[in-house]
């Protein structure tokens, strides 16, 4: 049996005390998550965070730092995810842009509004990442060392 963690990115976007969240369907239930998703082949972590945020919310953002790196095993399926969470500021919204399948839409919520609905969190990391961000956890983007190697290159 082969065990492989899944690499994901998430983005904390704050504007005047409200956070950009994605309302999406997971197992038939409407839940909240940060704009988040899986790293794709030949993509940097930074590119993935920008792409996922745009695809899931219609928002272009500027990444400002790294909030944290989290390891999480989902009780629902036993899959282990490594989440790299970025902080960002909103730049432009494109409300006409079609969103990814399963996305109900972007929602701006305060921490208190989100905390009052734990049954709607995609995982406990949703509030944990916001709390780390609010506690001032921020590392420079240079923490991320993306190096694309040629297909024949050695690691």
User: Cα–Cα distances in Å, from 50 out to 10, 35, 153?
Assistant: 9, 9, 27
The answer as to whether 148 is a domain residue is no
For range 31-57, the mean pLDDT: 96
**Cα(108)–Cα(75) distance, integer angstroms:** 27
Q: Using one digit for the tens of pLDDT, what is the confidence trace for 54-102?
A: 999 999 999 999 999 999 888 888 888 999 999 999 999 999 999 999 9
Tokens read off for 11: 């983005």
**pLDDT over 60 (residue 154):** no
**pLDDT over 80 (residue 1):** no
Domain count, the chain: 1
**Cα(137)–Cα(114) distance, integer angstroms:** 19
Asked if 124 and 10 touch (Cβ cutoff 8 Å), the reply is no
The answer as to whether 78 is a domain residue is yes
Instruction: Measure the N-to-C terminal CA separation of the chain; round to a whole number of Å.
Output: 24
**pLDDT over 70 (residue 3):** no
The answer as to whether 113 is a domain residue is yes
Look up the CATH number of the domain holding residue 119: 3.90.79.10
The answer as to whether 134 is a domain residue is yes
Give me the domain span that covers residue 45: 6-140
The answer as to whether 82 is a domain residue is yes
The answer as to whether 152 is a domain residue is no
Buried b (16+ CB within 10 A) or exposed e, 73-108: eeeeeeeebebbbbbbebeeeeeeeebeeebeebeb
**Maximum separation of any 2 CA atoms in the chain, in Å:** 51
The answer as to whether 13 is a domain residue is yes
The region of weakest confidence among 1-5, 122-126, 148-152 is 148-152
Asked if 19 and 12 touch (Cβ cutoff 8 Å), the reply is yes
**Cα(111)–Cα(120) distance, integer angstroms:** 13
**Cα(144)–Cα(7) distance, integer angstroms:** 14
For range 111-115, the mean pLDDT: 98
pTM: 0.90
């Amino acid at each position: 049996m082969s065990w492989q963690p899944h690499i994901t990115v998430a983005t904390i976007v704050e504007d005047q005390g409200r956070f950009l969240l994605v309302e999406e369907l997971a197992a038939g239930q409407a839940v909240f998550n940060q704009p988040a998703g899986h790293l794709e082949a030949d993509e940097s972590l930074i590119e993935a965070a920008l792409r996922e945020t745009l695809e899931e919310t219609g928002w272009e953002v500027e990444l400002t730092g790294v909030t944290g790196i989290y390891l999480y095993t989902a009780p629902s399926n036993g899959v282990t995810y490594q989440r790299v969470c970025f902080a960002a500021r909103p730049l432009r919204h494109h409300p006409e842009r079609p969103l990814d399948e399963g996305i109900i839409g972007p929602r701006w919520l305060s921490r208190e509004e989100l905390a009052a609905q734990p049954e709607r969190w995609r995982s406990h990391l949703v509030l944990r990442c916001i709390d780390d961000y609010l506690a001032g956890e921020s590392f420079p983007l240079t923490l991320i060392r993306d190096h694309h190697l040629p297909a024949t290159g050695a690691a």
